[in-house]
Chain A
Amino acid sequence: MAELLLELLSEEIPARMQARAAEDLKRLVCDGLKAAGLSFTDARAFATPRRLALAVDGLPVAREDVSDERRGPRVGAPDQAVQGFLKGAGLSSLDQAEKRDTGKGEFWFAVITRKGGPTAESLPGIIDTAMKALPWPKSMKWGSGTMQWVRPLQSIVALFDGKVLAGEVAPGGAMKPIPFGDSTRGHRFLSQGTFKVSDLADYTAKLRAAHVILDPAERKKTILEGAEKLCGDAQVTLKADEGLLDEVAGLVEWPVPMMGTIDAAFMDVPPEVLIVSMKTHQRYFATIRQDGMLANRFVVVANNVARDGGATIVDGNERVLRARLSDAKFFWDQDRKVRLEDRLPALTNIVFHAKLGTQAERVARIAKLAVEIAGHVPGADRGLVEQAALLCKADLVTGMVGEFPELQGIIGRYYALSEELPLAVAEAIGDHYAPAGPNDRCPNGPVSIAVALADKLDALVSFWSIGEKPTGSRDPFALRRAALGVIRIVVENKIRLPLQHFFKADDLMSFFAERLKVQMREKGVRHDVVDAVFALGNEDDLVRLLARVEALQSFLGSEAGQNLLTAYGRAANIVRAEEKKDKALSARIAATPDPALLEQAEEKAVASSLIEVERALAVALKSEDFAGAMNAFAGLRAPIDAFFDKVTVNVTDKPELRLNRLKLLNHIRATMDSVADFSKIEG
Chain B
Amino acid sequence: MSDPTTARGKPTCFQELILTLQDYWAGQGCLILQPFDMEMGAGTFHTATTLRALGPKPWYAAYVQPSRRPKDGRYGENPNRLQHYYQFQAILKPSPPDILERYLGSLVAIGIDTGLHDIRFVEDDWESPTLGAWGLGWEVWCDGMEITQFTYFQQVGGIEVDLVAGEITYGLERLAMYLFDKKTVYELPFNRADSEVPLTYGDVFLQNEQEQSAYNFEHADTDMLFRHFADAEKECARLVDKKLPLPAYEQCIKASHAFNLLDARGVISVTERQSFILRVRDLAKACCEAWLVTQKAA
Q: What residues of chain A have their CB less than 8 Å away from a CB belonging to chain B? A: 11-12, 14-16, 49, 138-145, 150-152, 154, 173-175, 188-189, 251-252, 282, 284, 300, 302-304, 306-308, 312-313, 315-317, 319-321, 323, 326, 349, 351, 354
Q: Cβ of A351 and Cβ of B97 under 8 Å apart?
A: no
Give CA–CA (A25, B68) in the complex, Å: 45
Specify which of B80, B97, B138, B271 lies most central, judged by the most chain A CB atoms within 10 Å of its CB. Answer: B97
Choose among A154, A284, A319 the residue that contacts B97 (Cβ–Cβ < 8 A).
A154
- Using Cβ atoms and an 8 Å threshold, which residues of chain A touch B116? 306-308, 312-313
Q: From the candidates B79, B94, B135, B143, name the one contacting A316 in the complex (CB within 8 A).
A: B143
Q: Which residues of B contact A302 (CB under 8 A)?
A: 118
What is the interface of chain B mostly: helix, strand, loop, or mixed?
loop
Chain B residues in contact with chain A, CB under 8 A? 79-80, 94-97, 100, 114-123, 125, 135-136, 138, 142-145, 152, 154, 162-164, 166, 178, 181, 183, 266, 269-271
Contact A189 B143, CB 8 Å, known A140-B136, A141-B154, A143-B164: no
Closest approach, in angstroms, between the C-beta of A315 and any C-beta of chain B? 8
Q: Closest CB of chain B to A626's CB: distance in Å?
A: 49
Asked whether A282 lies within 8 Å of B120 as measured between CB atoms, the reply is no
Q: A142-B164, A173-B94 are in contact. Are A313 and B154 (CB under 8 A)?
A: no
Return the chain B residue nearest A174 by Cβ.
B94
Find chain B residues with CB under 8 A from A189 CB: 114-115, 119
Report whether B164 and A251 are in contact in the complex, using a CB–CB cutoff of 8 Å.
no
B143 touches A140 (CB 8 A): no
Task: Write the nearest CB–CB distance from A240 to chain B, whole angstroms.
Answer: 21
Per the bound structure, the CA–CA distance linking A202 and B79 in Å amounts to: 52
Residues in B with CB closer than 8 Å to A188 are: 119
Contacts of A306 on B, CB cut-off 8 Å? 115-118
Pick the contact of B136 from A138, A284, A300, A316 — CB < 8 Å?
Answer: A138
Residues of A within 8 A of B122 (CB): 15, 251
Chain B residue nearest to A15 (CB atoms) is B123
Q: A312-B117, A323-B80 are in contact. List 19 more A-B contacts (CB 8 A).
A: A11-B121, A14-B123, A16-B123, A138-B125, A140-B152, A144-B164, A151-B152, A154-B97, A175-B97, A188-B119, A189-B115, A303-B120, A304-B114, A307-B116, A315-B143, A316-B117, A316-B142, A319-B145, A326-B79
> Hey, which chain A residues are within 8 Å of B118, CB to CB?
302-304, 306, 313, 316
Q: Which 4 residue pairs are nearest across A and B when measured between Cβ atoms?
A: A316-B143, A14-B123, A12-B121, A302-B118
- Residues of B within 8 Å of A152, CB to CB, are 95, 97, 152
Closest chain B residue to A138, Cβ basis: B136
Of B135, B162, B270, which contacts A351 at CB under 8 A? B270
Which of A154, A174, A304, A320 is in CB contact (< 8 Å) with B145? Answer: A320
Quote the shortest CB–CB distance from B125 to chain A (angstroms): 7
CB of B164 within 8 A of CB of A354, answer no
Cα of A188 to Cα of B97 in the assembled complex, Å: 15
Please name all residues of chain A whose beta carbon is closer than 8 Å to the beta carbon of B117 when the two chains form the complex.
304, 306, 312-313, 316
Chain A residue nearest in CB terms to B122: A251
A317 and B143 form a contact (CB under 8 A): yes
Question: Given A144-B163, A189-B115, are A300 and B97 also a contact pair (CB < 8 Å)?
Answer: no
